[in-house]
């Protein structure tokens, strides 16, 4: 479906129109901006494929899509471009729209600084902040400028890296294309992406082929007929190519940003050594080379050799490298020099790589315990979510629509929640082969109380308690995020704390929360902590999940899916859990239905 791409293009036109034109009340520009925004939202939320509607001439049957907007959608579908968008991008300074990525800088403020202070990009904005000019503009002040400064700092520290959930689909699609090239025998993903890091710098692909130079030549010529297509060729040699891909082409990636892809062609006898070397991390590789030196060996990307340069001792596969160095094969997610080499008795057996097969895998997952439906802000019904989960092999799911305070997410009033309980129970009777639990994602309010009364929560099977508003330590919040979370943990009906830090990767920093206190309280009360598998969150992050495991806290890996396609994001949560050294017994999603219900009851008493 092209719905997401079309929606983003229409929203971009609205942003650029607002930056470029006078949107004062009653102006023609303001009307057009609002029309484009409405159309963007409608297309994003539309259940049907817009391309299919366009093919049958039914675009204008979509509410809010008039003749002009329909023509622009049709143009996008036919050419991949919209003339009006191209014209606006050409008219405005190239770096100006990027300011929209700064927290606190909407189109109106970007237009204001452009018009009044001639700000055309990040450097100009930082200059007027430093000079004090920005704080003097109408509608701005010291507090607003402080937020903008903090937004710039956060964006600069994180915006250059590509989220796991954007990079992995690109890497997999490219690997599939390279596999189809003549003479190619094998293609594997390496680098920080293979290690499951939440963001990556670039994508590394390793290829075994008969003719490296021909593979490189074919790779850099992958054109617009392929997805993803090469945008720029940075280098092309006999065995290596470096190119860029526009990362906006994948899963919600931001338009205009690129990610570098490095392809290396290596011979079969060195493939394992190269795969290990280019997977990294750098720190892990240093420790491995030091171990080789102590054994009078030499390790590099070509293989493991004796110090006197005799033929390779190992290198065809990774397992051989580790075995010759008297080590078990270490899963990629653990290769961060964070204890994976330690074999002392003081290191818990559960944290040692001597049993890598015991780390949790996607195949161990029997259910997803946090998803939304059309009752709140989801796009699919209870039955649709359950049916897809059943096809995925799940034994159980929990329907967790938003509670009443999440008005922006169409949260359920008490009356609607009572009806939802009945609806989920009835769906559970209708859909055979999978247990559908009654759940809720219940807001933790600023005073630490929950959004629903206990007598209503008692009618559910599963309660995800989450902070969605007043995330700061001051202002309207009566309690800080730690105090609110601790209060929710103490509620007997709360099964799990959802996305505990509230972060959005590359977009919103985590709340200031005392994770040690949260983990301690969760352990004492048998409350679970979530690894939210949405690639935009991955919250808990790996280090906090490991902290929880070491304290005996059970993790719950959930997709927070708002439509059936997002159920596949479970793998990102599992990768994060593996980085935290989670075993199946550390994760509630691996339990049988009976064991799950017993575990929930243990908290409820």
Q: Tens of pLDDT along 41-87?
A: 788 767 677 888 888 888 888 888 889 999 999 998 888 789 999 89
Q: Return the pLDDT at 448.
A: 95
**pLDDT (average), residues 285-304:** 93
**pLDDT (average), residues 430-450:** 97
CA distances from 197 to 129, 335, 531, 548 (A): 34, 11, 14, 19
Q: Return the pLDDT at 51.
A: 84
**pLDDT (average), residues 392-420:** 96
pLDDT digits (tens, 9 = 90+) for 493-551: 999 999 999 999 988 889 889 999 999 999 999 999 999 999 999 999 999 999 999 99
Q: Return the pLDDT at 142.
A: 86
Taking alpha carbons only, the member of 412, 508, 440, 496 closest to residue 469 is: 508
**pLDDT (average), residues 390-399:** 98
pLDDT digits (tens, 9 = 90+) for 317-371: 999 999 999 999 999 999 998 888 875 333 334 444 444 558 999 999 999 999 9
**pLDDT (average), residues 158-176:** 88
Q: Return the pLDDT at 95.
A: 83
Delineate the domains of the chain, giving CATH numbers in brackets: 3-158 (1.10.150.110), 161-263 (3.30.460.10), 267-358 (3.30.210.10), 362-604 (3.20.20.140)
473 pLDDT higher than 80: no
386 pLDDT higher than 50: yes
Report the percentage of the chain scoring pLDDT > 70.
91
Peptide bond before 228: cis, by omega within 30 degrees of 0? yes
The residue ranking higher by pLDDT, 352 or 185, is 185
Q: How confident is the model at residue 146 (pLDDT cuts 50, 70, 90)?
A: confident
Q: Return the pLDDT at 158.
A: 53
Let me know: does 189 contact 171? Beta carbons within 8 Å.
yes
Q: Return the pLDDT at 47.
A: 63
**pLDDT (average), residues 22-37:** 70
The residue ranking higher by pLDDT, 12 or 572, is 572
Among 129-143, 394-408, 539-553, whose mean pLDDT is lowest? 129-143
273 pLDDT higher than 60: yes
pLDDT digits (tens, 9 = 90+) for 557-584: 999 999 999 999 999 999 999 999 999 9
CA distances from 335 to 208, 262, 317 (A): 23, 20, 17
User: Which of 152-166, 281-295, 449-463 holds the top average pLDDT?
Assistant: 449-463
Among 135-149, 150-164, 558-572, whose mean pLDDT is lowest? 150-164
Q: Return the pLDDT at 349.
A: 42
**pLDDT (average), residues 552-561:** 98
Q: Return the pLDDT at 238.
A: 93
Q: Mean pLDDT for the chain?
A: 89
Place of tokens 């008795």: 345
Taking alpha carbons only, the member of 356, 594, 578 closest to residue 586 is: 578
pLDDT digits (tens, 9 = 90+) for 213-241: 999 999 998 866 667 778 888 889 999 99
**pLDDT (average), residues 193-210:** 95
* CA gap 338, 54 in Å, rounded: 53
Q: Return the pLDDT at 24.
A: 43
Let me know: does 393 contact 410? Beta carbons within 8 Å.
no
**pLDDT (average), residues 175-181:** 94
Place of tokens 């064991």: 595
25 pLDDT higher than 60: no
Q: How confident is the model at residue 393 (pLDDT cuts 50, 70, 90)?
A: very high
Residues in the chain: 605
């Amino acid at each position: 479906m092209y719905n997401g791409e079309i929606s983003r293009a229409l929203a971009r036109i609205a942003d650029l129109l607002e930056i470029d034109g006078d949107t004062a009340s009653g102006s023609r520009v303001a009307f057009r901006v609002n029309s484009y925004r409405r159309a963007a939202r409608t297309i994003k939320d539309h259940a049907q494929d817009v391309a299919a509607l366009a093919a049958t001439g039914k675009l204008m049957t979509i509410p809010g899509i008039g003749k002009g907007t329909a023509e622009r959608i049709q143009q996008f579908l036919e050419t991949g471009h919209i003339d009006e968008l191209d014209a606006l991008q050409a008219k405005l300074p190239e770096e100006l729209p990027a300011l929209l990525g700064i927290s606190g800088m909407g189109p109106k403020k970007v237009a204001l600084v452009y018009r009044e202070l001639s700000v055309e990009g990040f450097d100009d904005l930082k200059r007027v902040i430093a000079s004090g000019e920005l704080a003097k503009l109408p509608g701005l002040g010291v507090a607003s400028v402080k937020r903008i400064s903090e937004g710039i700092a956060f964006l600069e520290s994180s915006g250059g890296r590509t989220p796991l959930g954007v990079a992995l689909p690109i890497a997999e699609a490219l690997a599939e294309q390279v596999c189809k090239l003549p003479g190619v025998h094998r293609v594997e993903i390496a680098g920080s992406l293979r290690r499951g890091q939440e963001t990556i710098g670039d994508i590394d692909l390793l290829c075994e082929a008969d003719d490296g130079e021909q593979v490189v030549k074919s790779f850099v010529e992958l054109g617009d007929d392929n997805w993803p297509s090469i945008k720029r060729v940075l280098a092309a040699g006999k065995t290596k190519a470096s190119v860029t891909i526009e990362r906006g082409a994948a899963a919600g990636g931001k338009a205009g940003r690129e990610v570098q892809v490095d392809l290396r062609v290596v011979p079969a006898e060195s493939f394992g050594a190269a795969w290990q070397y280019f997977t990294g991390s750098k720190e892990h590789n240093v420790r491995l080379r030091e171990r080789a030196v102590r054994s009078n060996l030499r390790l590099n990307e070509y293989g493991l050799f004796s110090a006197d340069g005799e033929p390779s001792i190992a290198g065809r596969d990774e397992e051989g490298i580790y075995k010759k160095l008297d080590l078990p094969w270490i899963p990629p997610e653990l290769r961060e020099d964070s204890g994976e080499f330690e074999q002392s008795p003081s290191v818990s057996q559960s944290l040692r790589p001597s049993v890598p097969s015991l780390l949790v895998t996607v195949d161990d997952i029997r259910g997803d315990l946090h998803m939304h439906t059309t009752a709140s802000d989801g796009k699919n019904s209870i039955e649709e979510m359950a049916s897809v989960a059943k096809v995925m092999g799940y034994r159980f799911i929990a329907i967790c629509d938003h509670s009443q305070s999440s008005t922006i997410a169409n949260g359920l009033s008490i009356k609607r929640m009572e009806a939802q309980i009945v609806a989920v129970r009835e769906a559970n009777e209708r859909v055979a082969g999978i247990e559908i639990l009654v759940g809720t994602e219940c807001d933790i309010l600023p005073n630490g109380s929950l959004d629903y009364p206990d007598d209503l929560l008692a009618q559910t099977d599963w309660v995800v308690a989450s902070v969605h508003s007043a995330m700061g330590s001051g202002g309207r919040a009566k309690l800080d995020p730690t105090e609110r979370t601790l209060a929710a943990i103490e509620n007997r009906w709360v099964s799990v704390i959802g996305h505990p830090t509230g972060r959005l990767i590359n977009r919103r920093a985590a709340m200031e929360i005392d994770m040690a206190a949260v983990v301690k309280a969760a352990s004492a009360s048998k409350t679970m902590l979530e690894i939210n598998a949405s690639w935009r969150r991955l919250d808990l992050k790996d280090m906090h999940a490991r902290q929880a495991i070491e304290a005996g806290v059970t993790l719950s890996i959930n997709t927070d899916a708002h439509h059936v396609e997002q159920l596949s994001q479970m793998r990102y949560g599992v990768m994060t859990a593996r980085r935290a050294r989670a075993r199946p017994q550390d994760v509630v999603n691996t339990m049988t239905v009976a064991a799950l219900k017993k575990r929930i009851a243990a908290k409820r008493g």
